[in-house]
Chains A and B, each alone.
Chain A
Amino acid sequence: MKQGWIQSSVSRLFGWAQAHSLRYFPIHMGCCSDELLQAVGCRYDLERFGVLPEVDPVFSDLLIVSGAITTRSAPELKKIYEQMPHPKFVMAIGSCACSGGAFGPEATGASTLAGLSGVVPVDIYVPGCPPRPEAILEGLLRLQDKIEGKKTASRKQGRKQGRIDRLETDEWDLR
């Protein structure tokens, strides 16, 4: 009984530490990159939540993706995701990265994908075109809750639907 108490306390401590020292690697493919930069600026100040930009995916915990996911950049994005160490989290900013938005496959034909979830498992979605910095902050706070154990959405569902397995092959399949 005592052992279990120690284990749960330690994992809570780790969760707390992880949630409040998120280093993110930004991938900017559209307009929402500007809003993320404004959120780093002094009015919104992401740094007070322990969220800081990182220049190398190898040292980062969080991948923030904004903009339309094109078929050409998706394999590169997958590579970046695979470089990140566990535990890793992914955040999609803007309608394009969430679900395709105005530049989804219905609009562009073959050149874009319907959202980031077809490439990497996404932990948190921030909709908006572009979302305001407040929305991005809200998303990050929700993500911190999730890391600390207050689950709001299940991440395994994406895997069950076979979204990830499809990308194991080298050739890019659109369907």
Chain B
Amino acid sequence: MSAPERLSPIQWDLGPFHALLSGVYRLRLSLDGEVIERAEVETGFTTRGVEQILTRQSWRGAIPFLDRIDPDGAVFFEWAYCLAVEQLSALELPRRAHGIRVILGELSRISSHLLSLAKVAKAAGAESAFHLLIRERERVLDLLELLCGARHALGFLLPGGVREDVTEGFLERVQEVCQQILQRIKEYNDLVTYNEAFVRRLSGRGVITKEMVARHRMTGIPARVFDREQDLRWSSSRLGYFGLKPEALESIEAITFPGDVHHRFVIRLHEVSQSAQILQVLSQKLAAGPFLAKGSAQLIVPEGEAEAEVETARGRLAVRVGSQAGRPGPAEIQFSPPSRALFDAVPQYLVGAPLQDLSLLLQSIDLLATEVDR
């Protein structure tokens, strides 16, 4: 009897609309039995040409379109754009505007992280954890609604500051919600994070090594697994995190495998608590004064080009804005979203993974197709 012949690998196309995928993109898998041998990603199904649309808008009129690029972290795209425009027109931002922006940014970060955690929990089969995390997210969205009147598409930032001052009673409610989130995180740790079944399901799977991070220039959680300092919030002075850096940024050890899905889950949950602590501090000592810079009503933008970088919930977002004399809005705008690097890493990341882990692996790096397609 001869040895059994090795079957040729099965080709399997997933997407662009598939429940396993975390967005609209196509995944071409080549399977050996149940193990993924090769993977290819195809994006571009939701290309709307946002950058092109923005060049037809005024400086302020571009803000609402920026909200619709990233659904759960709308403020980050606004923030990056506003920073670039402020650099172009040399506006000096008041301390209070910085503070309100940081509050919004941290609230969005919590909301985005909670959503991502909920998706990972759902992919792992922890249905109750999904509902608990979504419950917490509702509280954060309520806060955003209290401040901006919208839950997702905020449209709150302006070049030179923010649209409104904080609502009465907002800062007290931020305190309240952060207190509650910090308490609930202890609950989650007991219920989900260090649950034996959950740890076994997640650990050792989807390892992103240091080499992969360096090769694909990944930022955000996959990079911070190895180096907690890789964060623009602490390294960039333009973002306005003055003296808000936590004292200890010690690295968190993995239970089983550094860089696996569970390690990223723990770090993401830790970042939620870190953001809640920042908010607690900031809501107590928000600087008084104006919330809009002088001269931002009649924005004078000289000809030139400016760049800005922001740390979103997914990683580093860079934007380049160009202006021309006599134009009422941006002449050129280009984004470099954090999900680009994550999508680049997917083919290498998925190789060798069994098929039943596919959803878990894809959800755990928090891909967003709309941000890449734009």
Contacts and interface: CB of A to CB of B under 8 A. Distances in A.
User: Do A and B come from the same complex?
Assistant: yes
Contact of A73 (B16, B118, B134, B137): B16
Interface in A40-84: 40-43, 53-56, 67-68, 70, 72-73, 76-77, 80
A76 B53 contact: no
Given A38-B134, A43-B135, A102-B65, A70 B72 contact: no
Nearest to A40: B134
A54 B17 CA distance: 13
Contact of A34 (B24, B72, B135): B72
B71 A70 contact: no
A70 B153 contact: no
Interface in A139-172: none
B270 interface: no
Given A41-B131, A41-B138, A129-B153, A107 B71 contact: no
Interface string A17-56: 0000000011111111111011011110000000001111
A41 B137 CA distance: 10
A41 B134 contact: yes
B135 A42 contact: yes
Interface residues of A, number: 39
B71 A34 contact: yes
A112 interface: yes
Contacts of A33: 71
Give the size category of B's interface with A. Answer: 35 or more
A53 B71 CA distance: 20
Interface stretch (B43-51, B160-168, B210-218, B271-279): B43-51
A55 B49 contact: no
Contact of B46 (A37, A40, A67): A67
Contact of B45 (A43, A53, A55, A72): A72
Contacts of A102: 64-65, 68
B370 interface: yes
Contacts of B201: none
A31 B45 contact: no
A29 B49 contact: no
B68 A31 contact: yes
B153 A130 contact: yes
B53 to A, nearest CB: 5
A109 interface: yes
A56 B153 contact: no
Nearest to B69: A31
Given A31-B153, A37-B134, A72-B45, 6 more contacts: A34-B152, A38-B134, A67-B370, A80-B17, A108-B52, A111-B49
Interface of A: 25-35, 37-38, 40-43, 53-56, 67-68, 70, 72-73, 76-77, 80, 102-103, 107-109, 111-112, 129-130, 132
7 contacts: A29-B24, A34-B71, A34-B152, A41-B134, A72-B45, A76-B16, A108-B53
